[in-house]
Amino acid sequence: MRSRQRMFAAVMRLILKCLRLGRRRRFKLVRQVEQLWHYGHLCLRSLLYNSFTNSDVVLDSLFEPVYWLVDHVTRWFGVVFVALVIGLTSSIVAIVYICLLPLILQTYTPAWICWHLAYGHWNLIMIVFHYYMAITTSPGHPPQAKDNLTGVSICRKCIAPKPARTHHCSICNRCVLKMDHHCPWLNNCVGHYNHRYFFSFCLFMTMGCIYCSISGWEMFRDAYAAIERMKLLEKERLQVTANQTYYQTPPPTFSFRQRAFHKSVVYLWVLCSSVALALGALTLWHAALITRGETSIERHINKKERQRLQKKGKVFRNPYSYGSWNNWKVFLGVDMPRHWLTRVLLPSPHLPHGTGLTWDLPPCVTKQHTPLLAI
């Protein structure tokens, strides 16, 4: 009996010893896995750590393939986008002259006819002029020689002088003075010498689309109702034709000219309304940038600089902003009151202030702006 108890006790001690050994091995394996994980994490951070890395850098890195695709596709499809703008605009103008203008001359009063003729043609001239100037005017490029430029940096991509507010366009593969962005609808960069043409085109195109949408609202409703009536009568005509007797006559059919007229009016209103919403939002965005005296690229740069200085208890001041009203005068090239008529409300090919290489105080700004940093 005692021998059995001793044997049972020995077996139990052996089992407990094996359990302790297995537990130790399991804990040792877990510790090894944790050590390998921390070591790998440390190696990864040592290879990839950058004190300047933030969420914007990560997003830019993730979207780098998209940027590459846009750069290469936009370079080849810019002509297609320009042809699309010209084609759509020409179609709207043709519909207005062929379909709407005769109706306006027959139904409107002489005062309204004069208003529509004057405003419509003025708006059209402003759109055509500014779009032509925006696509044909060079945005401006810095000289390749550094002899006449002092205190400028060197572009890392084209190894050329890079004055203030100048940025490299990966699509044009050149540095652009006061670059705002590369516009595929212009097949050209928006920079120092054509920034005003680009914004004016957006503004007058938006105004023209709003004008067409408001003026053609009643015509659009009538045309849409007529198209729905056409569909209903066409369905009834097919039913009558299928079950026709000697005592039934098919409903009257609409002529090709009537169908084309109603569908053209609907096309005009839908296209103008869509462009007015999309281009209007873009115009407001650029108007806000002009009011602050910065470009699209400078907005991101100034935002990061503002956040960096805010952590140090300092306030960032844009050195190229002269106040909201003065910023608009500098952008539009208004030096005297009559320029609001001759340079803003009428087509004008005048050059912007300065050369884009240096940024001295414009003559239209009488008061010195706030310095760059204020502690």
Q: Using an 8 Å Cβ cutoff, are 90 and 127 in contact?
A: no
Q: Which two tokens stand for residue 263?
A: 């569908």
Nearest by Cα to 104 from 124, 120, 90? 120
Say whether 183 is catalytic: yes
CA distance 265 to 269: 6
Q: Using an 8 Å Cβ cutoff, are 129 and 139 in contact?
A: no
Q: Which two tokens stand for residue 291?
A: 């009011």
User: Which of the residues 169, 175, 183, 272 is marked catalytic?
Assistant: 183
DSSP 353: S
CA distance 12 to 88: 92
With 0-12 / 13-18 / 19 or more C-beta atoms within 10 angstroms meaning exposed / middle / buried, residue 368 is exposed
Paired strand residues for 139 = none
Residues whose CB falls within 8 Å of the CB of residue 263, separated by 6 or more in sequence, listed in order: 223, 227
Q: Which residues are catalytic?
A: 183
